Structure 1
């Protein structure tokens, strides 16, 4: 005797739209909390959902989206709900970076001023008069870059916690990302060499590799054992999606930081040697310039990092079975 065909779950029926899992229907700040389903292999193989067997995007997923508008909304939903812990994290990063930057920059500026005031010193002690201050300034920049990179990892982790309805704590997030810092340092050094080679090659290659490496902190944080190669693979999964989201994030970052950078440049110019009388004005200009630059980085970090996390999640969902729940783990 023939058996009646079994009816599958609602989301597997081609005549009905996919439904998110029951756990995905708990609202949280306008976007549901979930465990989520970013990719349904059975539906993709059968050609259901999006055209051409593409993955089904769960509308309940708080980070993964199938459109530019969805990406934008999800990124700023995280900023709106989690701006306090994100701002606290970036403020701590800014203070730590300033502790490193201000002494190094002051040393370099004061040493340069002494050389300008007494050009004979440059001839007699060229290395001590020029290269040592430059070296100290470079070390300060590198140390502050390391602190800022760690802050990016912490902010990304907080963004995922906020997106999935968890309780974001900066200290807990910091302890969670510390094991990934050595990998980030190593891959950043390699990325820096690649960027230098691209810059020497032409203007277009540096734009390309620079866009790809925007994903590097996310790859290092969420995918232990992966690095630069994974960034290129994700970027090439859907170049249109990657370029649109990353370009928007980069332009927004520059736009947010631009007023602070402009004011910083004015302060540095007013405090530069030869334009003011007295060491006090030079110190004030140097400190003001450094603080304003760091404020720009602070605001950009709060606003842009969640967008980059969402862009990374979008690209992973287009490449492999994925949902934001995997980032929580």
Structure 2
């Protein structure tokens, strides 16, 4: 038997019945002067006939009443970057008298549609998505019932939505070029899931630097699908024990960087090291890193949501928060052997 959520009349249902676009239905429900009287009458007849109920919280926010909540779907609560995004978003939303509701997929991308629907059914005024999976159909307007969606961290092909991103590719390219300038020619890049947008984005920056400096890419120095610090350390150990070991290593997420740091502290090998993201320990130990500002990412995501609630018709925007290469020492080591 279909659930109550599945039986719910959608904005798309009203648009189809009235022979107009979903945007026209939205404008009609907001009493926009851009809608012709006969069109307004036709749409409202279908709203009444089908029993469509728009999101009252979003409607109230549109006219100045800020008493709603915004949902955030994240992969987990232990990831420091995602925790920072939530904190930044919560502070910005609080200034607008909005509450933040957080749901975690527990690193299971298949749960994203379930959590998004749960947020929408609870009448959130907007939905912030930090997606890991590639499936995005569940965020299309006909499935979100007019709830604004802001994508955090990556865009979605075919989905017109507001997006907040970081320019990790540019910062990783800068990090790779910095190592090349120090004399490194064998630079290992350790990344997470190879099918993820973020891994692809960071690797593209690394490869762009090699190409710009006319250096060939050694596929053996790129190791992906690393999901834990232990896996990263094991992969690095194998590379360092190979006949042609790397003289520099890029750790392209915080978990991987932690595993690399543990191996470096063990002191069995000498290599330059630049991580991605940071914590108090890595900063204290002088780890050079590509640093993102999760608080600013969260603030910008919340700002986009607030603006979208106030003006649903404005074109989608993409905000890019810069990532920065911070020099602390580990990334400034030159190759131990000349010509390496």
Larger relative contact order, structure 1 or 2 (CA cutoff 8 Å, min sep 6): 1
Structure 1 or 2: more strand by fraction: 2
TM-score, structure 2 normalization:
0.29
Structure 1 or 2: more helix by fraction: 1
TM-score, structure 1 normalization:
0.30
